Amino acid sequence: MSTSQLIQQSGAVAVTCVLLLTLVVVVLRLLALPLVLAAMVLDKGAEFAARPLTISTTSPDWRYRR
């Protein structure tokens, strides 16, 4: 086996490893999307449920009321 063949073979292995790693990262990100969306929905639900519990910080002055 010549040196050029060894270099080409190691390059092919490196490119294959990088492509495989990229594929794994893309798949893991796609699998994480539903979890992120569920967390966002739960956060909005918690904000909505806590609205009656928050203290109003509006000014008593009638000029600042909307």
Report the alpha-carbon distance of residue 64 to residue 49 in Å, rounded. 26
| Structural element, H or E, at residue 55 | none
Give the pTM.
0.51
Q: 40 pLDDT band (50/70/90 cuts)?
A: very high
24: its two tokens: 């794994």
Q: What pLDDT is recorded for position 60?
A: 60
**Cβ–Cβ under 8 Å, residues 58 and 64:** yes
- The number of CA neighbours under 13 Å toward the Cβ of 42 is 6
